[in-house]
Amino acid sequence: HNNSVIPRQRHRVTTKGSNVPECAETFEALRDRYQLSSHLMLNLSKNGYSYPTGIQSYGAPILLQGRDLAAISPTGTGKTISYLLPTFVSLRAPVASAETDAGLGVRAIILAPTRELAHQIYNECLKLAQGRKWRVVLFSKATANTFSDKAVRDKIDIIVSTPLRLVASLQSGSLSLSNVRHLIFDEADRMLDNEFLPQIEEIVAACTHPDVQKAVFSATLPANAEKIALDMLRDPIRVVVGLKDT
């Protein structure tokens, strides 16, 4: 387990946007406000996550309020959990369980620029999913065939993928994104550029649910990427985490 995460006290956080929700200093505060399950709380503590990092304490409430978000926070500050935790809370229960009537089809998509990054995100997903029958799928050449069966596909909760791999599944007609409620772009500076733009636009267009929430996360957001992000996001809140004395 990597303990290199930087303590919250060293973060300087600025926010911009309308009606920014109050940050949550602790996971217990988040639980009290947004009904985090005891199972999620246990998974956080089991994995050594005692206190939220800066981006987690600011970003998670924004996502849990259903707002779009552009988050800029340095490498190693826990961006992954800042969007995965709200995603698991919002999905409430695995689609295959009797506890949700969320409809069929994947409800959350996490995009990352490389297969290696997608794999790291997938591993963080598994930490939060422990103990419940969540179906989290890391899209790859191998899994693309496994999930060509519609009955199997309809029971997926979360897909982690690169844009290219996801677009390949869309173009083969084997995947519908019409029930997606959460679309996350991680390491967005490496995806929101002119090279990836056609794929990003195809994915965004395929997420036809009117309530789809979008969020971008990055360590830096160059002007061009920021413009693409702001065109895509709806009344977003922007959070910038800096490191003090650096």
**Interface with ligand ADP by CB under 6 A: which residues?**
2, 5, 48-49, 51-53, 56, 73, 75-81
Q: Which CB, 95 or 216, lies closer to Mg ion?
A: 216
Distance of closest approach, residue 223 Cβ to ligand ADP, in angstroms: 21
Residue 5 interacting entry, from ligand ADP, Mg ion, none, C-beta within 5 to 8 Å by type? ligand ADP
135 vs 146: CA distance, rounded Å? 13
Query: Which entry of Mg ion, ligand ADP, none binds 199, CB below 5 to 8 A by partner kind?
Result: none
214, two tokens: 């979008």
- Provide the 8-state DSSP code for 10: G
The one-letter code for the residue type at 210 is P
143 and 164 Cβ atoms separated by less than 8 Å: no
Give the tokens for residue 170.
Answer: 């869309």
Shortest spacing between CB 216 and ligand ADP, in angstroms = 13
- The residue written with tokens 């919002």 in the block is 90
DSSP string, 84-132: HHHHHHHH-S-TTSTT----SS--EEEE-SSHHHHHHHHHHHHHHHTTS
Amino acid at residue number 195? E
Residue with Cβ nearer Mg ion (66 or 76): 76
For residues 79 and 182, which CB has a smaller minimum distance to Mg ion in the complex?
79
Q: Which stretch binds Mg ion (CB under 5 A): 12-20, 24-32, 77-85, 201-209?
A: 77-85
Q: How many residues of this chain bind Mg ion (CB under 5 A)?
A: 1
What does 146 bind: ligand ADP, Mg ion, none (CB cut-off 5 to 8 Å by kind)?
none
Name the minimum Å distance from CB 29 to Mg ion.
Answer: 24
Pick between residue 43 and residue 169 the one whose CB is nearest to ligand ADP. Answer: 43
- Min. distance of Cβ 73 from ligand ADP in angstroms? 6
DSSP 9: G
Phi and psi at residue 177, in whole multiples of 5°? Answer: -110, 20
Tell me how far apart the alpha carbons of residues 206 and 184 are, in angstroms, rounded to a whole number: 14
Identify whether the C-beta of residue 37 lies closer than 8 Å to the C-beta of residue 82: no
Shortest approach of Mg ion to residue 75 CB, angstroms? 7
Cβ proximity to Mg ion, 153 vs 214, nearer residue: 214
Q: Give min distance, CB of 239 to Mg ion, in A.
A: 15
Name the site residues for Mg ion (rule: CB under 5 A): 79
